[in-house]
């Protein structure tokens, strides 16, 4: 009786569980292999990927992002406040202070070679403080307006300054050269390229040297006709040299 009841129950239960019993279950060996592969793959991942996964998971929440943003805003405000308090101290020195030295700065004109009336000196000569304690400050490297190149100023020719030093026969040359020099000074920075500028300055120095020497010679011996001839020719060369700049500029302007 009992056996028959048990068989009847089995007949009901086994068909119902047949699907479960017949499902393929991985063997223990397969499970071990799968677990090993997962472990190996985790270990082979680079560190930055692990870190990135952690960070991205941590900050994906909107509330955390909002809190971080708030902190950033507060931090930037604090930084601006700190900078504002220190601003007057930083912006005060517009140039770097230099420790006073024992070297005496040379006079801008003292080192000029004789006859170099076209010598170039910087526009600004750095002032050297003579008093004050030595301290390190932040230099202000902001560039001044205009091109980055060193702006130069042409030193006016020292030759014939007044009418008494102008020798007979050279007045017209001196006047012409003076007027040409003024216009050329404005043009030569733009008109001459690097190599041309070097050639121009060199030739001008050559001509000026000749003028200086010949003037001295003519002053010493006014009857020296050869010296006079060379002097006048040198003046003419200087005029031609200066004129060439203007003529070139005129030519280029006419072609635009």
Partner 1 sequence: MLPKSKKLIAVLAIAVMTVSLAAAAFGQSQPKPAPMPPRQERVPSPPGEEESGDHERAIKTDAGINLSLCVIQGEVRVNGWTRNEVRMLVIGGSKFDFKVQQKSQRSGDPVWIMAVAQTADGDKMRPVSDCIRGDEIEIDAPVGATLNLKGRDAAVTADGIRRVSIRNAGGDISVRNITDGVTAVTYRGDLMVEESSGAMSLETTTGNIVVFDAGPSEIGDIFKTKTTSGAIAVQKIGHRQIEVNSVSGTVTYSGDILSGGSYSFWTSNGSIKLSLPASSSGTITASYGYGSFNCELPYKLATENISPGPVKSIVGTLGTGGNASLRLTTNNGSISIKKL
Q: 34: how many CB neighbours lie within 10 A of its CB?
A: 11
Instruction: Work out which of 60, 92, 94, 103 binds partner 1, going by CB under 8 A.
Output: 60
Contact between 241 and 178 (Cβ < 8 Å): no
- Map tokens 């100023």 to a residue: 153
Instruction: Work out which of 26, 75, 108, 169 binds partner 1, going by CB under 8 A.
Output: 75
Instruction: Work out which of 167, 183, 213, 246 binds partner 1, going by CB under 8 A.
Output: 213
Instruction: Work out which of 176, 183, 224, 246 binds partner 1, going by CB under 8 A.
Output: 224
Q: What angle do CA 221, 223, 224 make, to 5 degrees?
A: 75
Q: Which of residues 137-166 bind partner 1 (CB under 8 A)?
A: none
Q: Which pair of structure tokens corresponds to residue 72?
A: 């950033």
Residue with Cβ nearer partner 1 (53 or 125): 53
Contact between 160 and 170 (Cβ < 8 Å): yes
Instruction: Work out which of 121, 158, 241, 246 binds partner 1, going by CB under 8 A.
Output: 241
| Binding span for partner 1 by CB under 8 A among 18-26, 93-101, 116-124, 241-249 | 241-249
Residue with Cβ nearer partner 1 (55 or 96): 55
Residue 237 found at the interface with partner 1 (CB under 8 A): yes
Residue with Cβ nearer partner 1 (112 or 191): 191
- Least distance from C-beta 188 to partner 1, angstroms? 12
Helix (H) or strand (E) holding 79: helix 62-91
Contact between 26 and 35 (Cβ < 8 Å): no
243/249 Cα distance (integer angstroms): 10
Q: Does residue 175 sit in helix, strand or coil?
A: helix
Q: Which of 237, 129, 253, 249 is nearest to 185 (CA)?
A: 249
Q: Which pair of structure tokens corresponds to residue 189?
A: 């920075």
Contact between 211 and 115 (Cβ < 8 Å): yes
Residue 255 found at the interface with partner 1 (CB under 8 A): yes
Residue 90 found at the interface with partner 1 (CB under 8 A): no
Instruction: Work out which of 30, 52, 99, 113 binds partner 1, going by CB under 8 A.
Output: 52
Q: Does residue 120 sit in helix, strand or coil?
A: strand
Residue 116 found at the interface with partner 1 (CB under 8 A): no
Instruction: Work out which of 13, 55, 120, 128 binds partner 1, going by CB under 8 A.
Output: 55
Residue 79 found at the interface with partner 1 (CB under 8 A): yes
- Least distance from C-beta 56 to partner 1, angstroms? 4
């Amino acid at each position: 009786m009992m056996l028959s009841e048990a068989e009847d129950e089995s007949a009901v239960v086994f068909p119902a569980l047949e699907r479960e019993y017949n499902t393929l279950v991985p063997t223990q060996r397969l499970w071990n292999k799968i677990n090993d592969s997962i472990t190996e793959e985790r270990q082979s991942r680079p560190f930055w990927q692990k870190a990135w996964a952690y960070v991205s998971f941590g900050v994906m929440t909107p509330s955390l992002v909002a809190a971080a943003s708030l902190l950033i805003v507060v931090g930037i405000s604090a930084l601006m406040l700190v900078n504002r308090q220190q601003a007057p101290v930083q912006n005060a020195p517009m140039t770097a202070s230099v420790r006073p030295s024992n070297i005496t700065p040379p006079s801008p004109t003292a080192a000029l070679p004789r006859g170099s009336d076209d010598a170039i000196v910087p526009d600004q000569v750095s002032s050297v403080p003579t008093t004050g304690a030595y301290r390190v400050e932040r230099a202000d490297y902001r560039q001044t307006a205009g091109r980055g190149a060193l702006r130069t100023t042409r030193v006016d020719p020292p030759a014939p300054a007044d009418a008494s030093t102008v020798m007979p026969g050279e007045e017209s040359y001196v006047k012409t050269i003076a007027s040409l020099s003024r216009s050329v000074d404005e043009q030569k920075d733009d008109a001459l390229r690097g190599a041309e500028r070097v050639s121009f300055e060199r030739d001008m120095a050559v001509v000026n040297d000749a003028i200086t020497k010949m003037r001295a010679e003519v002053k010493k011996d006014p009857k020296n006709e050869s010296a006079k001839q060379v002097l006048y020719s040198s003046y003419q060369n200087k005029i031609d040299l200066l004129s060439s700049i203007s003529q070139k500029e005129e030519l280029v302007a006419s072609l635009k």
